[in-house]
Amino acid sequence: MYSLLKPRIGARNPVAVERLFGLVFLVVTAGCGSAAPSDGGRAPSSAGSPSGAASPETSVASYEVPVPDALSAAATYPISWLTWQVSGSGAAELSYALPIGLVGREIRISLTGVLDAATQTAELSGAQGTAVCTLSSAQLVCTEHLSGLLPITPDLTVVTATANSDFGGVAADRVAVARIFADDPIGILRANPKSGGGDDAAGAKHEPKSSDTQN
């Protein structure tokens, strides 16, 4: 378990970040201008989807669960919204929702820490667990241990229905991965950085309003 870091720092200065690190990184909700969920962490209604499955997601990032080789093809999931913000002082915040296809419902994650300007690494922590993140011009990679979510009870009906609609492999393999993650919630998040400024870089329009979770 990684050591806890300083609490979340609310002030953000994306212009200062650009000057300090050479980029501002924020991946926002995929789609036609839609914002991240703001209704206390619940996913959009799945009414009308087969067997209660969520609508197919457009990926802005991916989430991989470490599993035996036999399940590796079923262990990577799309993430449809994510924010990564760094203040001028280096305070970093990562927010996103675990994939519906992994847990069967939306569980929101919010982790904070400090980005080391020299190494471009950050150790993050929060109520849900810890993460070690490495930032490069090509990718943000965070290895997470989300033990604070335990116990997790995945909705396997939704997991199966989502696999049947969105996954090209065997749905039972997705269920097996969901069970592994529920017992030991370790995952690797990967996202591509975007440079630039404006509202998206500041996160003013797309940042979730709370970091509530449903376990």
Task: Give the model confidence (pLDDT) of 39-71 as tens digits.
Answer: 333 333 333 333 333 333 446 899 999 999 999
Task: Tell me, yes or no, whether 211 lies in a domain.
Answer: no
| C-alpha 74, offset from chain centre | 18
The C-alpha atoms of residue 77 and residue 185 are separated, in whole angstroms, by 14
Q: Is residue 214 in some structural domain?
A: no
Whose tokens are 């760094």? That residue is: 86
pLDDT digit string, tens, across residues 103-115: 999 999 999 999 9
- CATH number of the domain where residue 174 is located: 2.40.128
> Whole domain around residue 81: which residue ranges?
14-30+59-201
Whether residue 18 is predicted with pLDDT greater than 80 in this model: the reply is no
pLDDT at 139: 93
**Could you give the number of structural domains in the chain?**
1
Is residue 21 pLDDT above 50, yes or no? no
Q: Which of 30, 100, 88, 22 is nearest to 61 (CA)?
A: 30
Q: Determine whether 214 is exposed, middle or buried from the number of CB atoms within 10 Å of its CB (0-12, 13-18, 19+).
A: middle
Does the residue 194 lie in any domain? Answer: yes
Task: Give domain status of residue 43, yes or no.
Answer: no
Q: Over the stretch 26-38, which tens digit does the pLDDT of each residue have? A: 544 444 333 444 3
What's the CA angle centered on 99, arms 97 and 101, to 5 degrees? 155
Whether residue 3 is contained in a domain is answered as no
Q: What is the pLDDT of residue 59?
A: 60
Query: Is position 134 within any domain?
Result: yes
Q: How confident is the model at residue 80 (pLDDT cuts 50, 70, 90)?
A: confident
What is the percent of the chain with per-residue pLDDT over 90, rounded to a whole number? 59
User: Which pLDDT belongs to residue 193?
Assistant: 67
Do the beta carbons of residue 118 and residue 97 sit within 8 Å?
no
3-class SS string, 96-154: EECCHHHHCCCCEEEEEEEEECCCCEEEEEECCEEEEEEECCCCEEEEEECHHHCCCCC
Start-to-end CA span in the chain (Å): 20
Residue 40 forms part of a structural domain: no
pLDDT score for 188:
98
Bridge partners (DSSP) of residue 91 are 114
Q: Considering the entire predicted model, what is its pTM? A: 0.69
195, two tokens: 């440079």
pLDDT on residue 124: 98
Flag whether 52 is in a domain: no
Q: What is the pLDDT at residue 9?
A: 38
The secondary structure of 42-84 as a DSSP string is PPPP-TTSGGGPPPPPPPSEEEE----GGGGGGSEEEE--EEE
Residues 152-173: what's their mean pLDDT? 97
Please enumerate in sequence order all residues whose Cβ is within 8 A of that of 64, keeping only pairs 6 or more positions apart, or say none: 75, 76, 77, 187, 188, 190
- For the chain, the farthest-separated pair of C-alpha atoms sits apart, in whole angstroms, at 49
In this prediction, residues 159-181 reach a mean pLDDT of 97
Instruction: State yes or no: pLDDT of 132 exceeds 80.
Output: yes
